Amino acid sequence: MTKLSVNINKIATIRNARGGSLPNVVQFAIDCERFGAQGITIHPRPDERHITTMDVYDLQKVVTTEFNIEGYPDKRYLELIRSVKPTQATLVPDPPNVLTSNAGWDTIKQKNFLSEVLKEIQSLGVRTSIFIAPNVKLIESAADIGVDRVELYTGPYAVDYSSNKAEAIKPYVLAAETAEKCGLKVNAGHDLNLENLAYFKQKLCQLSEVSIGHALISDALYYGIENTIQQYLYQLR
């Protein structure tokens, strides 16, 4: 079974546009779980343009499924992981000025850096995952540095899906097979939606978890969050 983790960054973005607490990020996370989400994902960036540091601690108190905190492993991020001890820490190689995560780690060039960070996080009893392109060499290197999971960056798949989905999925199938051989669990995220998710799941039987935010929250504007979560869960079945 592939778990659905709902990324709630966009809810915080809407709240921050006006200040105050509407919509309420904590209540939204509680409701997502009540409606069937099997995880809550956040990415607290240094400029706090959506999820704030206070949000992290508030969510820690209420999330009862898997709590996944994404981010670049700088001092601030690691302090949050030490304090909160989420279910999973997903390392993303994005500097503070980028709009969204749009590239994976080079696990060969950054092997030493990642290895040290992963060991520290794992010593806290936190599961580790790294954002990565569907590249066999990089995945094999990820296994060498001791990460628990890889999160396949699905941006290119989403872009190419409508023109040739069979070709778009090929590198991901190979990547998932490689990860499985290396003893790694497979997550995925970025631009997955109601149109392309079912095919992705169908072709990757190894898929443990998907983290979806932008498309899911956008769909919820039309369908409502409860109905939307159920639609995404249906695609994963």
Which residues form the catalytic set?
Answer: 43, 70, 190
- C-alpha 161/C-alpha 226 separation (Å) is 27
> CA-CA-CA-CA torsion for 156, 50, 130, 98, nearest 10 degrees?
60
Report the distance separating Cα 212 and Cα 31, nearest Å: 16
Give residues with Cβ within 8 angstroms of 29, minimum separation 6: 6, 8, 40, 59, 62, 63
Contacts of 179 (CB under 8 A, 6+ apart): 139, 142, 143, 150, 185, 186, 206
The tokens describing 213, both together, are 């935010």
